Amino acid sequence: MSRWELLTSAGLGAVDRAVPVLLPLAAVEQHGPHLPLATDRLIADHVAGSLDALLGEELLVLPTVAIGVSAHHSAFPGTLTVGHDAFGAYVEQLADSVLEQGFRSLVLLVAHGGNTAIANVVLERLGARWPDRRLVVTAWWQAAGPELLALTSAGPGGVGHACELETALLLHAAPELVRRELIPARESAPAFGWDDADMLRGGRARLQRSFEQIAASGVMGEPRAATAELGAAASAAIRDALAAVLGDLRAA
């Protein structure tokens, strides 16, 4: 059993401190007309669960931080958000409480793009305070980027938010929560050529826009390209890529 909160205190105390600890960082925010507000949290929990099933006692999974930095989605009903300072302080103090117990490796797993910047700041702050520990930050789409790029079919701009990938992962992991009849057509487009980027492809520069400026539907990308089969393949690719990172940390 690798779920931190399901162990007893004595059981947790007996865990080898070389076992890496995973902290998923998610969000509760709009995901278009067809996906639930909990999409990022559901994907984070699914990825963590798949790693738990694969690695067992070679991993410790912390409870997912469910609400993140989502102010850029606030024009849409249901979005919950906290500021960068509050989120960063919470994650940093949670990480400290893990590291103070002697664990030598900690991975911050980003499952929401809005958490990326502050997660990297937290990583640098922790690194200055814990120079003898192995501290890592990655996003599920970053860890398995090349594999996911090979799996997707929508082309540049097709994967961003409530998109081909996120919709496919939900069709695989929680199909009962996907409103298939409401999946919208592709709408989002870059404002400039140099800002032409998505989840898997970087642009030359980034233009800050709120999400209603990107797409009235709240969707960035091509969700109609999603299938449950793609979701299953993407899930396996993400699991295997992250397992390799965690395995390296365990063996180091």
Dump strand ranges (E) for the chain.
Answer: 21-25, 60-61, 105-110, 134-139, 159-161, 220-221
> Which token pair is 21?
């600890």
Task: Give the C-alpha distances (Å, rounded to integers) separating 166 from 127, 140, 192, 219, 248.
Answer: 31, 11, 25, 11, 27
* Opening angle at CA 71, ends 70 and 77, nearest 5: 85
CA 95 distance to own-chain centroid: 17
Q: What is the pLDDT of residue 97?
A: 98
Please give the pLDDT value at position 27. 98
Into how many domains does the chain fold?
1
Q: Domain range holding 179?
A: 4-251
- pLDDT value of residue 1: 57
Q: What is the pLDDT of residue 188?
A: 79
pLDDT at 196: 85
Entry pTM: 0.96
- Taking the C-alpha atoms of residue 213 and residue 89, their distance in angstroms, rounded to an integer, is 29
Which parts of the chain sit beneath pLDDT 50? none
| CATH number for position 148 | 3.40.50.10310
